[in-house]
Structure 1
Amino acid sequence: MTDSSITDAIRAWVDGWVVSRGAAEPVAEPWGFTIDVGLPRHTTRHVLTDGGAGAVRKVAAAARTPGRRLKVFEDPERVLAWLGPDWTPDEPGFLMRAQLRREEAVLPAGHRLRTWTYGNVTKVLVTTDDGTFAARGQIARGGAARPAVVDQIETAPGHRRKGLGSLVMRTLQNAAVEEGATAGVLGGTPDGRALYEALGWRVLAPLVSVCYDPKTP
């Protein structure tokens, strides 16, 4: 069973992710939330706040349709042992949280930074001076009382270790702070974890992502 602080962070992540991606409103379930995403290979996701074996097996049994995904906040080996061979894991992830504050965001020479906002989502794009993609990210704000949700942080392979990830994160955090946000949550990958921790984020729980991918005989 997930403790209350993690459950609150999961709910904030769900609400912000939906805003960030333009997905359907989350539907509350006894075990968590169902979200219709509407992509060919990601039609629906089920986010479990109750990550016990019984809940995971029950949801998986009812979601055996290509395009369905589960998000579970438990040890990856344990979750995969509860599921059958038709569920394929993505890379391991982490649910992370941080207190937000304004920080200086330094733009390295030879790069351009652009930010724009639509609705409650602010996006950041970093390119080289000739317009080549270098890094990006976005943040969804749910109001001063709700954590902001950082999403889709990406740095092009040839532009890493130049401070662009920190630039994107700090620019997004500053935008959220200006709107009154004091905390943030995100779903991070192993590649991003070191960056986030260096910026003051901490891991709350592992994040296991699996998709239904039945094997043909």
Structure 2
Amino acid sequence: MTVGTEHELIDRWIITWAHARGLETSTVDGWPLVHVRSRTRETELICTDPGLEAFAELFTHIEGDERAMLTVIADDASPYAELALPPGVRVDRDDETLMATTFRPIEVPPLESRFTSRWDIEDHRARYFVEAGDRVAAEGTIGILGEDATFDAVETTPAFQRRGLGRHVMATLTAYALESGARRGVLAASAQGRLLYESLGWDAELDMLSLMGAVDSD
């Protein structure tokens, strides 16, 4: 993937993800800062293969702040993972992948009779739930902006894993995307999720490495 294409894909992901969650973005040292304001983090600073020295200089933006994340996206993130970290910075996620696809219809696997489904649709996103009684068994969110769509927080509750619910959720969200006029998708996948997405035609494009600020215990 060329540098220009890398930036274009990452921009599409950030813009569509921020739109889906209704997030504000700003800029720090020329890189996008997403104001996530979630349970796991307040902000996420995202850079595209800036080089080891420039990446290390960005540590100051998260050092000692347990609510601040710094993410680098690159063809190969392993050199960044080998950098020595100051006491106030820790590795948070080192197994994520930015993935992309051109949508095509996917057969939606039927649900077992014990499960029911429902939608929660807002202007900027749609959330799909599979439930077993009063428990959420699986869920996923899709945000659509023009021809682009991002999938977010696709999860299966551990007690309901290995029942094909993740595939059902992804196929259902894909159908929604196509009906809404989207033609291409992008998402950040965990190592576990990547296997499912690849089986549905998604391509692994770029490595992702995320660091968090940490309180120095010394």
Residue 55 of structure 1 corresponds to which residue in structure 2? Answer: 54
Query: 1:126–1:40: structure 2 CA closer, same or farther, 3 Å change rule?
Result: closer
Question: RMSD in angstroms over aligned alpha carbons?
Answer: 2.0
2: CA distance, partners of 1:189 / 1:13: 15
1:166 aligns with 2:167: yes
Instruction: Give yes or no for contact 1:31–1:49 (8 Å, CA) kept in 2.
Output: no
Return 46-55 or 177-186, whichever deviates more.
46-55
**2:117 corresponds to:** 113
Identity of aligned residues (%): 28
Residue by residue over 1:125-169, the C-alpha shift from the partner in whole angstroms, topping out at 9 and shown as x without a partner, is 0012x232210000110112xx21100010011211111101111
CA deviation profile, 1:97-123 (whole Å, cap 9, x unmatched):
011122221232121111231012011
The offset of 1:58, in angstroms, is 2.0
Q: Where do 5+ consecutive residues of structure 1 fail to align?
A: none
Question: What does 1:1-217 correspond to in 2, within 5 Å?
Answer: 3-24=3-24, 26-29=25-28, 31-39=30-38, 42-66=41-65, 67-74=67-74, 75-82=76-83, 83-91=85-93, 92-109=95-112, 110-128=114-132, 130-144=133-147, 147-217=148-218
Number of residue pairs matched by the alignment: 213
Asked if structure 2 preserves the Cα contact closer than 8 Å seen for 1:35 and 1:46, the reply is: yes
Q: Is the 8 A contact 1:49 1:72 kept in 2?
A: yes
TM-score, length basis structure 1: 0.90
The alpha-carbon distance between structure 1 residues 183 and 140, as it changes in their structure 2 partners (threshold 3 A), is same
Report the 3-state secondary structure (helix = DSSP H, G, I; strand = E; otherwise coil) of the residue aligned with 1:10.
Answer: helix
Contact 2:129 2:138 in 1 (8 A): yes
Q: Say if 1:2 and 1:49, in contact at 8 Å, map to a contact too.
A: no
Distance 1:116 1:41, change over 3 A: closer
Structure 1's 65 and 15: CA in aligned 2 closer, same or farther, altered over 3 A?
Answer: farther
